[in-house]
Structure 1
Amino acid sequence: MIEVVSAERCIACDKCVLACPTNVFDTGADGVPVIARQDDCQTCFMCEAYCPVDALFVAPTTHPAAPEGLDEAELAADGRLGSYRAHIGWGRGRTPGARLAVGPELPGAARMVAPSVREPEPAATTTPATPATPATTTSTTAPAQAGAARKAPTP
């Protein structure tokens, strides 16, 4: 269940408000979302996943964690504030979840990783340009000419 919206970290982008399928948030007067309908939270973690600055904490329970709320400073200190994004591999400098999966390394998997995570590719070599040779063209509107353009095989 949603427990914390950090006003200190929040950039008022409203991504959490838009991502929430149950309309838990209202936008506050200062632009920072407020938890308006906590009981409607279905603990789907979508708000925390979409928050680009890790300003949210969703507790993995379906009821409020504590009547007085959770301490934001304590959540930040122990790394739980916004930690869901790290677990699913979203955000800069994080390893995509599929890269952490158990199994063999797939051929070409490095090409599927985001450019910021990718290893540098070898420099491409260029070949000098060669003059183009005229190609025989055929016309679909003149079948007789198309047949004439073909040479008969030599015996």
Structure 2
Amino acid sequence: MSPDDPLALERQVCFALTVASRNIVAAYKPALDPLGITHPQYLVLLALWKHRTLALGPLAQMLHQDASTLSPVIKRLEGQGLVRRQRSFEDERRLDISLTPDGLALRSRAEQVPVEMARRLRMSVEELTELHSSMVRVIEASRRALDS
């Protein structure tokens, strides 16, 4: 096969994204281990550090996950004393997730994670910002493709 073969594995966007995603998540592990959290837990905490309290549904939407996928992650965070789950006072059907004092305090230690990741990836802030912008465009384009 020629290198310009449109079906060459190494030319496929889906393949590059799959490998990059797997490798990036693995690269986060040494940065998150000292905090005692996994990558999925880190994503939940990032959302909660911004919003303090979120209902499970909006949290799942924000993270582009199903609530059923997030529930075990949140239960583990609760077991670690980092978040609290409780039924909403306004709507008993709604489950609110909020940070505990320990969860809030972990934020200051987590502020080094982006710095550590840039170092580990040997990429500049500018390169990572450009990559992030490109990925956001890919996410938006893929959503449009799914909606059509």
Q: Which has the higher helix share?
A: 2
Indicate the structure (1 or 2) with the bigger Cα radius of gyration.
Answer: 1
TM-score by length of 2: 0.23
TM-score by length of 1: 0.22
